[in-house]
Amino acid sequence: MSEASVVLLVALVAVAIITVGGILIGQKESQNLEGWLVNNRRMGPIFVWFLLGTEIYTAFTFQGLAGYAFAKGSSAFYNVALNDVAYAIGFFILPALWLIGKKFGHVTQSDFLAGRYRSRNLGVFVALASAIIMIAYIDLNIEGLGAIIQVIGHNVFNQTISDLIGFLVLALAVILGGIRGNAWQSMIKDILMFVAVIAIFIVVPLHYFGSFGHMYQAMLTKIPKYMVIPGASKNQGPLWLITTVAVTGMGQWMWPQWFGIAYTAKSPRTLKLQAVFMPLYQLVKVMMVTVGLAAVIIFAVAKVKGNDVIMLLALKTFPEWFLIIFTIAAVFAAIVPAGPIIMTSASLIAKNVYGGIKKDAKEKTVYRLTKWLVFPLTLLAFGLAAAAPALIVVVLLIAYDFIAQLFPAVVLGGLFWRRATKQGAVAGIIVGWIVSGALLLTKHDPLFGINAGLIALACNVVVFFGVSLITPAISRDYLDNFFSSAFPKSGRSTKTAGTLNTESPKA
């Protein structure tokens, strides 16, 4: 058996063992939809930390970010800044969303929107659209997994078969283990990822350059255009960096899976702690960008795909025993984060689309449908990855342009502007998607140096406010009751939760 086969076999066996452990741990808490999706809102700071870390720091961070730095240069640092902006936003909005969600039993983003705008149809619309957009995020992790197996296996293993096997394992773990099992897997994955990233960050400068100082000096003398923006990217200048950070920072909490993870917390304080301490994870991103830039010099005369850079470096640098650890970390970076994404996509379709259309649907039926949707959604993402492979970061940037269009409806109108209406929310989202799609399809991203997603978001906001002002407002009494738990000191009405809970959202 070849060295590559041994490394892959041992890594996949370890992944299987940890996956089974996650299933056994999560089964007890996964007997109903709320337990399966949000662990009955009982997760403390440590588990929420690892769940958010797993979802934010994925195959994209482990492979895609280094690959983007390798291909585009220092414009990759946009991704470091975006999370810091997002954590600041999350500190203020997530506790309020959690309080409202606990009061009314929300387990998805669409539950919140349907309640806030008193419109079941809005919840159905956003749920279906979000589930479709999230396929791109699952696709991102499939591409990462395929790159790992191809590089470590020296292209002996068929990429399509490798992807399919990996995500069948993932689908089984999600169906049986739920979010609690995924949290345990996330903890192991993040610890291994930290070990792997720190190792490659230290070893690469010492092994290939002699020291960190020599590495940075080599970057400045051999690849100076990579060290400034727009650099190697040509059109990603300072204005692109600022606008991309803005649109992706606002878009981060619009991803339904992160929205849902916020509901797993046992208190608002847990979420505030995450916002304060999650930026420590940013060190991982800085390390990976640095390694990606170093790889430009190391692979100067070789043709290397961006998605393959990290695994090629690991293969070239580490002894076999550590390569196994590195591969386990890389595989988990692709597999584990996809769990909550698939769970959320399935729950949006089952609970908010099917349940929204069939109003008398039983919770047990919705729960069963949610679990069975895991397989077709995973296979759909697998098909997309096979049909249209792309640089991991490009997939993510396009998806962010679309998901960020939910920001006005969820945050501006969802929490702060009471005059917002369902008509304004829908009109704004649709206009944002049309503008974003038109700019991307005609290759006008960026436009005048500005990220296309932010241009679309500006159009979205104008339409959102304009349409809301000319359509009927939601009653003050309804909104007083809806917001009373999140804003208790505002002097608003404190009617019981039962009043709003028993009054079904209108169309």
Tokens 């640098």: give the residue: 317
Summarize pLDDT for 437-468 with one digit per residue, the tens.
Answer: 999 889 888 899 999 999 999 999 999 999 99
In the predicted structure, residue 232 carries a pLDDT above the cut 90: no
- 106 lies in some domain: yes
Summarize pLDDT for 333-384 with one digit per residue, the tens.
Answer: 777 777 777 877 887 888 788 887 887 777 778 777 877 887 788 778 777 7
pLDDT score for 178: 55
Give whichever of 44-58, 114-128, 377-391 has the largest mean pLDDT.
114-128
CATH number for 172: 1.20.1730.10
Residue 387: strand, helix, or coil: helix
Say how many residues make up the chain: 507
Cβ(337)–Cβ(261) under 8 Å? no
In the predicted structure, residue 502 carries a pLDDT above the cut 50: no
CA separation (Å) from 409 to 123, 401, 406, 479? 11, 15, 6, 15
Tokens 């597999």: give the residue: 335
- Taking every pair of Cα atoms in the chain, the longest distance, rounded to a whole number of angstroms, is 72
206 alpha-carbon distance from chain centroid: 33
- 505 lies in some domain: no
Q: What is the spatial distance between Cα 299 and Cα 95, in angstroms, rounded to a whole number? A: 46
Residue 220's CB: how many other CB atoms inside 10 A?
Answer: 11
Summarize pLDDT for 237-253 with one digit per residue, the tens.
Answer: 899 999 999 999 999 88
- 90 lies in some domain: yes
- Tokens, residue 260: 């849902």
In the chain, the number of structural domains is 1
- 274 lies in some domain: yes
Domain range enclosing 188: 3-400
**DSSP labels for 287-300?**
HHHHHHHHHHHHTT
Summarize pLDDT for 399-443 with one digit per residue, the tens.
Answer: 889 999 999 999 999 999 999 999 999 999 999 999 999 998 898
pLDDT score for 490: 46
Q: 303: Cβ–Cβ under 8 A, 6 or more apart, which residues?
A: none
- Paired residues of 43 in beta bridges: 265
Angle of the 159-208 helix axis to the 374-387 helix axis, nearest 10: 70
- 313 lies in some domain: yes
Higher-scoring residue by pLDDT: 368, 45: 368
Cβ(91)–Cβ(100) under 8 Å? no
pLDDT score for 328: 83
In the predicted structure, residue 499 carries a pLDDT above the cut 50: no
- 144 lies in some domain: yes
- 126 lies in some domain: yes
- 429 lies in some domain: no
**DSSP labels for 311-331?**
HHHHHHHS-HHHHHHHHHHHH
Give whichever of 2-16, 144-158, 166-180, 339-353 has the largest mean pLDDT.
339-353
